[in-house]
Structure 1
Amino acid sequence: MMSEVLKGGEFLIKDAEPQSIFTPEDFTEEHRMMAKMVKDFINNEVLPKSEEIENQVEGVVPTLLRKAGELGLLSVDIPEAYGGMELDKVSTVIVTENVSGQGSFATAHGAHTGIGTLPIVYFGTEEQKKKYLPGLASGEKLAAYCLTEPGSGSDALAAKTKAVLSEDGKYYILNGTKQFITNAGFADVFIVYAKVDGDKFTAFIVERDFPGVSFGPEEKKMGIKGSSTRQVILEDVKVPVENVLGEVGKGHVIAFNILNIGRFKLGAGCAGSCKLALSTAVKYATERSQFGQPIANFGLIKNKIGRMAAYTFAAESMVYRTAGMMDKILGDVKGKSGAEVAKGIEEYAIEYSINKVFASEALDFVVDETVQIFGGYGYTQEYPAERMYRDARINRIFEGTNEINRLIIPAQLLRKAQKGQLPLLAAVQKLMGEIVAPLPPVEDVSGLNREKEAISRAKKLALMAAGLAVQKFKEKIEQEQEVLGMIADMAIEIYAMESSYLRAVKTGSELQEKYVKIFVAESFAKIEKLAKDLLAYVSEGDEQRTYLAVVRKFAKLPPVNTIKLAREVAEVIIDNLGYKA
Structure 2
Amino acid sequence: MADTIEKNVTRGGQFLVKETKCEDVFTPEDFNEEQLMMRDSVKEFVDKELWPNKDRFEKKDYALTEESMRKAGDLGFLSVAVPEAYGGMGMGFVNTVLVCDYISGATGSFSTAFGAHTGIGTMPITLYGTEEQKQKYVPKLASGEWFGAYCLTEPGAGSDANSGKTKAVLSEDGKTYSITGQKMWISNAGFCSMFIVFARIGDDKNITGFIVENAADNGISMGEEEHKLGIRASSTRQVFFNETKVPAENMLSERGNGFKIAMNALNVGRIKLAAACLDAQRRVITNATAYANERMQFNTAISQFGAIRSKLADMATNCYAGESATYRAAKDIEDRITAREAEGISHQEAELKGVEEYAIECSILKVAVSEDVQSCSDEGIQIYGGMGFSEDTPMESAWRDARIARIYEGTNEINRMLSVGMLIKKAMKGHVDLLGPATKVGEELLGIPSFDTPDYSELFAEEKEIVKNLKKAFLMVAGSAIQKFGTDLDAHQQILMAASDMLIEVYMAESTILRTEKLAKKEGEAKVQEQIAMAKLYLYQAVDIVTQKGKESVISFAEGDEQRMMLMGLRRFTKYSNMPNVVALRETITSKLVAENQYCF
CA shift, 1:278, in A, is 0.8
| Secondary structure in structure 1 of the residue aligned to 2:243 | strand
CA shift, 1:337, in A, is 7.3
Q: Which residue of 2 aligns with 1:319?
A: 326
Q: Say whether 1:72 aligns with 2:76.
A: yes
Q: Which residue of 2 aligns with 1:346?
A: 356
Provide closer, same or farther for how the CA distance between residues 566 and 446 of structure 1 changes in structure 2, counting only shifts above 3 A. farther
Moved more, 53-62 or 36-45: 53-62
1:184/1:232 contact within 8 Å kept: yes
Q: Which residue of 2 aligns with 1:438?
A: 449
**CA offsets 1:18-60 (integer angstroms, 9 cap, x no match):** 1111101110111111011001101111223332233233522
Alpha-carbon distance in structure 1 between the residues aligned to 2:558 and 2:165: 43
2:338/2:350 contact within 8 Å kept: no
Q: Which residue of 1 aligns with 2:525?
A: none
CA shift, 1:443, in A, is 6.0
Matching of residues 31-110 of structure 1 within 5 Å: 31-100=35-104, 101-110=106-115
**CA offsets 1:499-535 (integer angstroms, 9 cap, x no match):** 0010011110322111111100011111011111111
Instruction: From 363, 367, 371, give the equivalent of 1:357.
Output: 367
Alpha-carbon distance in structure 2 between the residues aligned to 1:31 and 1:341: 20
Q: Say whether 1:540 aligns with 2:547.
A: no
2:12/2:357 contact within 8 Å kept: yes
| Secondary structure in structure 1 of the residue aligned to 2:575 | coil
Matching of residues 159-238 of structure 1 within 5 Å: 159-199=164-204, 200-209=206-215, 211-238=218-245
CA shift, 1:340, in A, is 5.4
Q: In the alignment, residue 438 of structure 1 is paired with which amino acid?
A: P
Q: In the alignment, residue 197 of structure 1 is paired with which amino acid?
A: G
Alpha-carbon distance in structure 2 between the residues aligned to 1:554 and 1:462: 10
Alpha-carbon distance in structure 2 between the residues aligned to 1:123 and 1:74: 19
Matching of residues 115-194 of structure 1 within 5 Å: 115-194=120-199
What is the CA RMSD across the aligned residues, in angstroms?
1.5
CA shift, 1:333, in A, is 3.4
1:253/1:342 contact within 8 Å kept: no
CA shift, 1:344, in A, is 2.7
CA shift, 1:197, in A, is 1.2
Moved more, 43-52 or 269-278: 43-52
CA shift, 1:339, in A, is 5.2
Alpha-carbon distance in structure 1 between the residues aligned to 2:316 and 2:144: 35
Q: Which residue of 2 aligns with 1:274?
A: 281
Gap runs ≥5 in structure 1 = none
Gap runs ≥5 in structure 2 = 521-527
Q: Say whether 1:239 aligns with 2:259.
A: no
Q: Which residue of 2 aligns with 1:388?
A: 398
**CA offsets 1:444-486 (integer angstroms, 9 cap, x no match):** 3662222111101100011011111001001111111011111
**CA offsets 1:274-314 (integer angstroms, 9 cap, x no match):** 11111111111111111111111111111111111111110
Instruction: From 460, 464, 467, give the equivalent of 2:472.
Output: 460
Alpha-carbon distance in structure 2 between the residues aligned to 1:58 and 1:492: 36
Q: Which residue of 1 aligns with 2:516?
A: 504
Provide closer, same or farther for how the CA distance between residues 51 and 556 of structure 1 changes in structure 2, counting only shifts above 3 A. closer
Q: In the alignment, residue 245 of structure 2 is paired with which amino acid?
A: K
CA shift, 1:252, in A, is 1.3
Q: Which residue of 1 aligns with 2:494?
A: 482
Q: TM-score, normalised by structure 1?
A: 0.98
Alpha-carbon distance in structure 1 between the residues aligned to 2:269 and 2:84: 22
CA shift, 1:338, in A, is 5.0
Q: Which residue of 2 aligns with 1:529?
A: 548
Q: Which residue of 2 aligns with 1:297?
A: 304
Q: Which residue of 2 aligns with 1:413?
A: 423
Alpha-carbon distance in structure 2 between the residues aligned to 1:267 and 1:14: 24
Matched-pair identity in %: 44
Q: Which residue of 2 aligns with 1:370?
A: 380
Instruction: From 17, 26, 45, give the equivalent of 2:21.
Output: 17
Instruction: From 563, 566, 570, give the equivalent of 2:583.
Output: 563
Q: In the alignment, residue 191 of structure 1 is paired with which amino acid?
A: I
Q: In the alignment, residue 600 of structure 2 is paired with which amino acid?
A: K
Q: In the alignment, residue 520 of structure 1 is paired with which amino acid?
A: L
Q: In the alignment, residue 120 of structure 1 is paired with which amino acid?
A: I
2:498/2:553 contact within 8 Å kept: yes
Q: In the alignment, residue 288 of structure 2 is paired with which amino acid?
A: A
Q: Which residue of 1 aligns with 2:592?
A: 572
**CA offsets 1:53-88 (integer angstroms, 9 cap, x no match):** 332335221121111111110001100011100111
Q: In the alignment, residue 505 of structure 1 is paired with which amino acid?
A: E
CA shift, 1:220, in A, is 0.7
1:54/1:227 contact within 8 Å kept: no
2:364/2:419 contact within 8 Å kept: yes
Q: Say whether 1:495 aligns with 2:507.
A: yes
Alpha-carbon distance in structure 2 between the residues aligned to 1:247 and 1:207: 19
Q: Which residue of 2 aligns with 1:333?
A: 340
**CA offsets 1:397-436 (integer angstroms, 9 cap, x no match):** 0100000001101110111111111111121112211233
Alpha-carbon distance in structure 2 between the residues aligned to 1:528 and 1:53: 43
1:89/1:327 contact within 8 Å kept: yes
| Secondary structure in structure 1 of the residue aligned to 2:150 | strand
Aligned length, in residue pairs? 581
Alpha-carbon distance in structure 2 between the residues aligned to 1:418 and 1:70: 47
**CA offsets 1:167-217 (integer angstroms, 9 cap, x no match):** 111111100011100000101111111011142410001111160111111
| Secondary structure in structure 1 of the residue aligned to 2:8 | coil
Q: In the alignment, residue 167 of structure 1 is paired with which amino acid?
A: E
Q: TM-score, normalised by structure 2?
A: 0.94
1:354/1:492 contact within 8 Å kept: yes
Alpha-carbon distance in structure 2 between the residues aligned to 1:106 and 1:524: 33
Alpha-carbon distance in structure 2 between the residues aligned to 1:541 and 1:49: 62
Provide closer, same or farther for how the CA distance between residues 242 and 447 of structure 1 changes in structure 2, counting only shifts above 3 A. same
